[in-house]
Amino acid sequence: MTRGMVVDTNVLVAANGVGTHADADCQLACVEELRRLASNGIVCIDDQYLILGEYQQRVRMRKGQDGPGTVFFKRVCRTMGDRRRVRITPVTLRDPNDREGRDFVDPGLPPSNLKKDAKFLAVAVKADAGILNATDSDWVEHRALTDRLGVAVRQLCPQHAVRD
């Protein structure tokens, strides 16, 4: 089975170039990677649709004003039924009312680690996928955890993935 990728929301936001501190080089790297992934990759999401919900909240969806991150989000939504494009991974929340996905039963993630990003890590572990990141320093700060869980985090914009 081809390895999929879990895409942190900040990649879509950086690709859109609105509401982000990402520079032009970072924006271009994100646009190129989203296009590559959309054309010949597998995007991994959760069966609770927490990741899609976060995408929808963070990308603008105005007709005629779609940035590359929004186009990617719409493509994921359109191709959800095609396992060659989107892999929907079952995850179990300890608290079913936790709509930000902070605390999962599996894969045994501590609730304090990565806060809102726990949903991305849980999907990556369960789907044996990597994670794409652009501007979130949490992935660098929690590298010991991702390494221990066998999750590779690809930093598209290492210049932005550090806390100031």
Of 20-24, 96-100, 121-125, 153-157, which gets the smallest average pLDDT? 96-100
3-state secondary structure of 152: coil
Give me the domains of the chain, ranges plus CATH numbers. Answer: 5-155 (3.40.50)
Residues 134-148, mean pLDDT to the nearest whole number: 88
Is the per-residue pLDDT at 30 higher than 90?
A: yes
20 three-state secondary structure: coil
Mean pLDDT, residues 46-54 taken together: 91
Q: What's the confidence (pLDDT) of residue 10?
A: 94
| pLDDT, position 128 | 93
Global pTM value: 0.87
DSSP states of 46-105: ETT-HHHHHHHHHS---TT---HHHHHHHHHHHTTT-TTTEEEE---BSSTT-TT---BS
Helical pair 50-58 and 118-127, crossing angle rounded to 10 deg: 130
103-112 pLDDT, tens per residue?
Answer: 554 545 555 4
